[in-house]
Amino acid sequence: MDLAAPFDPLHEFHGQANCIAEALKARGEKLAVADGATGGLIMASLLTVPGALKFFVGGGVVYSFRTRDVLFDQPRDAYEGIRGPCPEYAELQARSIRDRLHADWGLAESGSVGGSKHPGGAPSGLSVVALAGPDDFIAHTVLETSSDDRIANMYAFTRHALDFAQSVLAPDEGISV
């Protein structure tokens, strides 16, 4: 990356989004996304691919309990014992967004980007990504940057989510997590 050039995450993430899109379209599958600390960058990256409706049904930025409750339509007790970004929470989000939007796959990111105190007490720089798919497939990955740089973490979390999605959905494209 040329440090003198302005940073452009959508151009940088486009190739990866395109690999994910091509793999999903080849199988006739669709993806729904619950962006968390990534603030919509995962969805925005996927929408850089022309014809996104062929593989992407939509999603939302889940940044508050109200948004979570409306978007996922889960009873409050579904979250009992789950606090902050953790595998159980990200997996619940991935299954919920998949099911709620009638997609084949659900991708969810939950994290603490830094710059302020996380309501669940999670340390800055922590991101958990989960992917829920057909036949009860569920998997997650964790990234810890140990950074309090909010913008850098949003970028790193998005890159990590796309890396993980590509490693599962388009494994022949050479990305490994």
Q: Is the pLDDT of residue 4 over 60?
A: no
The average pLDDT across 63-82 equals: 83
CA distances (Å), origin 5, targets 1, 9, 26, 52:
8, 12, 35, 28
Distance CA 137, CA 168 (A): 10
Domain extent listing, the chain: 32-83+98-171
Distance CA 92, CA 132 (A): 9
Q: Which amino acid is at 43?
A: M
Categorize the per-residue pLDDT at 172 as very low, low, confident or very high, splitting at 50, 70 and 90: confident
Distance CA 130, CA 140 (A): 4
Q: Which amino acid is at 81?
A: G
Distance CA 111, CA 70 (A): 19
Give the pLDDT score at 145.
95
- What mean pLDDT value characterizes the chain? 89
Q: Is the pLDDT of residue 52 over 90?
A: yes
Share of the chain above pLDDT 90, in %: 67
Long-range contacts (CB closer than 8 Å, 24 or more residues apart) made by 63-66: 63/36, 63/39
The model's pTM is: 0.90
Question: Which helix (H) or strand (E) segment is 130 a member of?
Answer: strand 126-132
Q: What CATH number has the domain spanning 32-83+98-171?
A: 3.90.950.20
Dihedral (CA of 34, 39, 42, 48) sign? positive
Answer whether 130's CB lies under 8 Å from 93's CB: yes
Tokens of 69: 């409750």
